[in-house]
Amino acid sequence: MRVKVLYEFKAQPNSGELSINANEILTVNRQDVGEGWWEGTNQRGQTGLFPAGYVEPMVTPTEPEAPAPQAMPNSQSAYDFGDGDWGEDDWDDDDDSQASNSQSNYDYSPTAHTSNATTPSSQMPPITHVSGVPKPSQPQQQTVRKSFNRFSTFVKSGGEDYILGIKTLTVNETHFIYIVESDRVGTYQWAPNPNPSNVSIDKPKKESKMKGLKSYIAYQLTPDSTGIQVSRRYKHFDWLHERLQDKFTTVPIPALPDKQISGRYQEEFIEHRRLQLQSWVNRICRHPVLSQSEVWQHFLQCGADEKRWKSGKRRAEKDELVGASLFFAVQPPAMSQSLDIALVDRKMDQFSRFVSKMDDSVKLLYITAQDQSKKFGGPYKREFSKIAHSLHTLSDAFAFSGVDGHHNNDRLNNAIKHTSDTYEAIGKLYVEQPKYDFGPMSDILHEYKGMLTVWPDILQVHKGAINKKKEHQKMLDEGKIDDKSVAQINQRSDVVTLSTLAEINHFQEERIVDFKDAMQHFLTQQILFYESIAANLKQTLELYNF
Amino acid sequence: MRVKVLYEFKAQPNSGELSINANEILTVNRQDVGEGWWEGTNQRGQTGLFPAGYVEPMVTPTEPEAPAPQAMPNSQSAYDFGDGDWGEDDWDDDDDSQASNSQSNYDYSPTAHTSNATTPSSQMPPITHVSGVPKPSQPQQQTVRKSFNRFSTFVKSGGEDYILGIKTLTVNETHFIYIVESDRVGTYQWAPNPNPSNVSIDKPKKESKMKGLKSYIAYQLTPDSTGIQVSRRYKHFDWLHERLQDKFTTVPIPALPDKQISGRYQEEFIEHRRLQLQSWVNRICRHPVLSQSEVWQHFLQCGADEKRWKSGKRRAEKDELVGASLFFAVQPPAMSQSLDIALVDRKMDQFSRFVSKMDDSVKLLYITAQDQSKKFGGPYKREFSKIAHSLHTLSDAFAFSGVDGHHNNDRLNNAIKHTSDTYEAIGKLYVEQPKYDFGPMSDILHEYKGMLTVWPDILQVHKGAINKKKEHQKMLDEGKIDDKSVAQINQRSDVVTLSTLAEINHFQEERIVDFKDAMQHFLTQQILFYESIAANLKQTLELYNF
């Protein structure tokens, strides 16, 4: 496959990366590198990694089979959670598996991987430079693989049967999920969790098993409802995530933090992962339905008792109230008549278009945030170092002036030297800054990217339900069926609609609060940053008062 | 000539510039483009302009004749004041010349030049990106052409004759130049100007002659000693500059502002030129010797009376007290014995090395300042635009959320929109900023670059004088000459030494004040800049309080 370079990319030295220039033609050797990287060879025969988003496939009429990789459900996307060569071993290992080699699974360093020669040097996902809003059909559109079969899961799990009343299920009241009308007329929401609680994740611990052959990170979770700390590994989160996805057809389960290449900055990496998991956990806690689910409670409350853990695990895995069956548990508010089809269509249509626009804009802002983070630590920092170096050279020259006994000469020198140090220090501020502004912004955007990817599938599920309602309405109009059977179909279809609307409502409320908080946090940190630069400069300016 | 690219350079679109990448090989077609630009062709056959300082000649053993252009006195350097195709016509025209074509000489637009297709788009001199301190032998070392023959001028104008006492000249007391001991023991300075005065340059006027066929800029100078405004064109400054250079062998006459490509930003260009000339004039005013010279007084005080102007012009051009002859006018302080040769050698040596170091560091800082100026207006600005665009896209998407009647949604939207505008505004601050910090710093560094280029020649002149003193000391030791003739040679050699020391003293005093002021100004502007960014962000942060 040959691709054309859209945007220049500079390789980090000794990273296995390949510098590419706009309009250059590359031959792609590997697309399964992961993390948004591809491996390719340029026309000078140099081979290395580059960001997949920086290139576009060469469209040749004679090559209609040219793949648009991310558009195919089975291809590996940049945010794929599937098994790849690139995962940290700790993230892949199975509970019951034996350590298959003597190499420590905890070893994050690239040398632990056979594919090490092509390991990108940066911990950050690649920057996809986009000058405009990416269209949904562009390869930039990343997809979480697990959600691809959501619709067919719905069908398979009996969605159609549910609507048509072919299958019935008696649900215990303790599992009821209530929908209520919200303050705003004509809108619906999940009934709030009567016992909301928070969960804190403490500093993770490195633990090991198999006599030290396997080691992993254990996160310590403390729900304030119990106050009892439980220890969870990433794979437990992963398992929980899968259960939640299976169970809640109308809820976009937030994605877990990406798999990342690490090995460097281990401490920072682990702390960042902790913050991301904390945010994920907070999102579950805030969700009226997820936070009350049995599997979540099991995850939070089961202690070190392995038997209890396994039985809860099996129970969750055998849960009947998953996929479409969960609708049997949904209790809609009392309604005088069935929902107006045209109104629902309009609402869903609007939301669908909104999701698409928000998806585009979140991706664009994410790319920008990642790009800025990279630039702060690289080019920006280097610019300040250059200024510092130039001033240092001047001060060195002045120290050589031979103007003996001239106090102002010495004071000037000292001041210029200090100014040089100040610019070097400002450069370091730039390196640190993304941790405080663009980094946290990237994290929240990443969470939204995940949820936004799932929404189209949820809306598809809804469309399936409302189409059944429409079909039966038509059959009724044609006198093919009676009022009674239509009323039941309408009622069940409305349960799907109301569930979807309740989730949309939750999503919108969350979105407003999340983006308000994110922007406030971001701007506050930016202000502190620029003020801190000014403060540094003020201090050095003082030295020129002689 | 083939050259290897050292640093990447990105062409401005439609500017005739050529983008070049590190390690690329170019064929140089023209080195006489001027302003530090060369024209070349890359290996893809593309031709255009690039900064000469970004490349290095390919050194091939079979091509020993590979030229190092700036090292040859007759080649055109980037800061050459000679006639080139690139000058603004107004700067070249002679007082008595006829307008040779009907095109307005005032027309700065590139279309007025035949070489227009290769006109660099930027008004700024090219950025020479240097990662370390340039060594004096590197091609970066620019030379002001007019100073190249300073030493031979000294010899030709009778320097040797002066030292040897072959030529004598009786100087009227009104032309005496006094040297006195300074406050610091063992150091000498020019006697201060008893009537120091300042000259202000007002907003320049566009004037025309030849019935409007020729137009030019006239600068209005008002010396506070007379309070009478006189009108001067750049060519008058140029003439004055030449007179001062001819006359003052031991004074590094500050260079006039560079010839520059203009045509765009005319107003800004003219105002910048005014500021540069004001700084040049201030430097002459502060100089104890230059400020008292007859030619300077004529330049300042002669009104619109053309006859008087021409007679003063002729008088200055026929001045006998130029070059080495000026030493006849120098009145050293009473000294009990001749200066110690070893001590003088040491001082001059130290200063010579200092000049070389300062030259390197000033050039490096100048390059950095120019580079920053360019980056502020280009890449930095674009980064803020990217952030602004991303936020704008997000706010656009949010406006489409369909969350009717949700006040916080509207407030959030409005706030994000405002934040986008704020980042766009910050981008504009970046564009404007170099005018306030790196621009003025570049200007003062440019003045120093000029003076530092001349110093080695001045020190050469001094070396000629002191070598004569050494020779005669040796001859005395060998009994070849008598005390008396040596005493006279010593005394005249000391006049040259003392003049040089006085000028060194003046230079050092000026340097300390200039760099103190420059750094204070620079830092103050940088502080205001970063504070202004923070203030903008604070304002937008307010909008999130809902």
DSSP A483-544: HHHHHHHHHHHHHHHHHHHHHHHHHHHHHHHHHHHHHHHHHHHHHHHHHHHHHHHHHHHHTT
Task: List Cα–Cα distances, A235 to A81, A92, A95, A259, A446, in angstroms.
Answer: 12, 8, 8, 12, 20
Q: Are A287 and A506 in contact (CB under 8 A)?
A: yes
Q: Which of A386, A217, A435, A59 is nearest to B131 (CA)?
A: A386
- Name beta bridge partners: A4: A25, A56
The ipTM of this complex is 0.72
Least confident range of A89-103, A433-447, B319-333, B396-410 = A89-103
In three state form, how does the secondary structure of B435-465 look?
HCCHHHHHHHHHHHHHHHHHHHHHHHHHHHH
For residue A22, the model assigns a pLDDT of: 84
Query: Is residue B4 marked as binding?
Result: no
Q: Please check whether residue A530 is in contact with residue B529, taking contact to mean a CB–CB distance below 8 angstroms.
A: no
Q: What is the DSSP string of A46-96?
A: -EEEEEGGGEEE---TT-TT---GGGSTTSPPTT--S--TTS-HHHH--TT
CB B18 within 8 A of CB B117: no
Q: How many beta carbons lie within 10 A of that of residue B209, not counting itself?
A: 10
Chain B residues within an 8 Å CB radius of A351: 402
Whether B531 and A534 lie within 8 Å, measured CB to CB = yes
Task: Note whether A54 and A128 are within 8 A (CB).
Answer: yes
Q: Nearest Cβ partner of B393 from A133, A394, A524?
A: A133
Rounded Cα gap, residues B417 and B261, in angstroms: 40
Q: Residue A515 class from Cβ within 10 Å (0-12 exposed, 13-18 middle, 19+ buried)?
A: buried
CATH number attached to the domain at A2-118: 2.30.30.40
Measured distance CA(B125)–CA(B117) in Å, rounded: 18
Please tell me the predicted confidence (pLDDT) of residue B496: 93
Chain A hits for B387, Cβ within 8 Å: 368, 372
Instruction: Quote the percentage of chain A above a pLDDT of 90.
Output: 48
Side chain identity at A267, as an amino acid letter?
Answer: E
Give A45's pLDDT tier (boundaries 50, 70, 90).
Answer: confident
- Cα–Cα distance between A194 and A187 in angstroms, integer? 20
Each residue of A232-242: pLDDT tens digit?
A: 988 899 999 99
Query: CA-to-CA distance for A395 and B93, rounded, in angstroms?
Result: 42
Longest dimension (CA), chain A: 110
DSSP-assigned beta bridge partners for residue B56: B4
- Cβ atoms < 10 Å from Cβ of A42: 18
Residues of B in contact with A544 (CB under 8 A): 516, 519-520, 523
- Say which amino acid occupies A125: P
Verify whether the Cβ–Cβ distance B360 to A400 is below 8 Å: no
Q: Report the distance separating Cα B394 and Cα A354, nearest Å.
A: 11
Contact between chains at A390 and B184 (C-beta distance less than 8 A):
no
What is the rounded distance in angstroms from the CA atom of residue A389 to the CA atom of residue A191?
62
- Which chain B residue's Cα is nearest to A506? B403
The pLDDT, as a whole number, for residue B542 is 97
Is the domain covering B170-334 a CATH 3.60.40.10 domain? no
Q: How far apart are CA A82 and CA A90, in angstroms?
A: 14
Q: Which residue out of A526, A529, A539, A540 would a mutagenesis test of the B interface target, given it has the greatest number of B Cβ atoms within 10 Å? A: A526
Q: Which of B521, B534, B522, B527 is nearest to B426 (CA)?
A: B534
- Point out the residue among B383, B537, B544 whose CB comes nearest to the CB of A375: B383
The angle that helices B438-477 and B341-375 make with each other, rounded to 10 degrees, is: 160
Contact A320, A297 (CB under 8 A): no
At B334, the amino acid letter reads: A
DSSP collapsed to 3 states, B503-545: HHHHHHHHHHHHHHHHHHHHHHHHHHHHHHHHHHHHHHHHCCC
**DSSP-assigned letters across all residues of A395-458:** HHHHTTS--TT-HHHHHHHHHHHHHHHHHHHHHHHHHHGGGTTHHHHHHHHHHHHHHHHHHHHH
Cβ–Cβ of A534/B530 closer than 8 Å?
A: yes
Rounded distance, CA B52 to CA B35, Å? 9
Q: Is residue B235 marked as binding?
A: yes
Residue B270 has φ and ψ, to the nearest 5°, of -65, -40
Query: pLDDT class for B155, splitting at 50, 70, 90?
Result: low
Nearest in space to B376 (alpha carbons), one of B440, B435, B444: B435
More confident residue, A130 or A161: A161
Question: Does the pLDDT value for residue B132 go beyond 80?
Answer: no
Thinking of the domain B337-546, which architecture would CATH place it in?
Up-down Bundle (1.20)
Grouping H, G, I as helix, E, B as strand and the rest as coil, residue B282 is helix
- Answer yes or no: do A523 and B419 touch at CB < 8 A: yes
State how far residue B330 is from chain A, nearest Cα, in angstroms. 24
* Contact present, A223 and A216 (Cβ < 8 Å): no
A62 or B115: which leads in pLDDT: A62
Distance from CA of B536 to the nearest CA of A (A): 9
Q: Is the pLDDT of residue A531 over 60?
A: yes
CA separation for the pair A53, A37 (Å, rounded): 8
Q: Is the dihedral of CA A318, A323, A324, A330 positive or negative?
A: positive
Q: Does A526 sit within 8 Å of B530, measured CB to CB?
A: no
Say what angle helices A234-247 and A266-286 make with each other, to 10 degrees.
30
Measured at the CA of B438, the angle between CA B437 and CA B440, to 5 degrees, comes to 70
Inter-chain touch A419–B538, beta carbons under 8 Å: no
* Lowest pLDDT segment from A208-217, A282-291, B216-225: A208-217
Of A390, A397, A508, the CB nearest to B358: A397
Q: CA-to-CA distance for B128 and B364, rounded, in angstroms?
A: 9
Q: What are B57's two structure tokens? A: 């000649």
Give the start-to-end residue ranges of the domains of chain B: 2-83, 170-334, 337-546
Local structure of residue A358 (DSSP, 8 states): H
A519/B416 CB distance under 8 A: yes
Q: Which of A347, A393, A412 sits opposite B133 (nearest CB)?
A: A393
Among A413-417, A504-508, B93-97, B401-405, the least confident range: B93-97
Residues in CB range of B346: below 8 A, 6 or more apart: none
What is the distance in angstroms between the Cα of A531 and the nearest Cα belonging to chain B? Answer: 6
> Domain B2-83, what fold?
SH3 type barrels. (2.30.30)
Top pLDDT among A74 and A449 is at A449
**Do residue B365 and residue A397 have CB atoms under 8 angstroms apart?**
no
Gap between the Cα atoms of A171 and B201, Å rounded: 92
Nearest to B361 among A397, A405, A530 (CB): A397
CA A520 to chain B, closest CA, distance in angstroms equals 6
- Cβ neighbours of B362 in A, within 8 Å: 394, 397
Secondary structure of residue A270 in the 3-state scheme:
helix
* Residue A528: closest C-alpha in chain B: B534
**According to the annotation, is A233 in a ligand binding site?**
yes
**C-alpha distances out from residue A530 to B115, B292, B536, Å:** 45, 48, 11
Size of interface A-B (CB pairs under 8 A): 183
Is the pTM for the entire model greater than 0.90? no
> Under 8 Å CB-to-CB from A349, ≥6 apart: which residues?
none
Chain A residue closest in CA terms to B412: A516
B contacts of A133 (beta carbons < 8 Å): 393
Nearest CA in chain B to A357: B397
Nearest chain B CA: its distance from A103 CA (Å):
42
Cα gap A343→A520, rounded to integer Å? 36
Residue A343 Cα distances to A180, A186, B79, angstroms: 18, 10, 74
Specify the DSSP element, H or E, that contains B215: strand B214-223
Across chain B, mean pLDDT equals 80
Contact A397 B360 (CB under 8 A): yes
Phi, psi of B467 (to 5 degrees): -65, -40
Structure tokens at A20: 């590419």
Residues B183-214 pLDDT 10s: 877 789 999 999 999 999 998 887 777 676 67
Q: What is the pLDDT of residue B35?
A: 61
pLDDT value of position A418: 97
Residue B411: per-residue pLDDT: 93
C-beta neighbour count of B533 within 10 angstroms: 25
Strands A47-51 and B188-190: unpaired
Residue-averaged pLDDT of chain A: 80
Whole-angstrom distance, CA of residue B250 vs CA of residue A414: 30
Cross-chain Cβ contact B534/A527 below 8 Å? yes
Q: Which of A42-51, A113-122, A342-351, B18-27 has the lowest mean pLDDT?
A: A113-122
Give dist(CA B42, CA B52) in Å, integer. Answer: 14
User: Which one of A519, A520, A521 would you mutate to disrupt binding with B, by most B Cβ within 10 Å of its Cβ?
Assistant: A519
Count the residues in chain B: 546
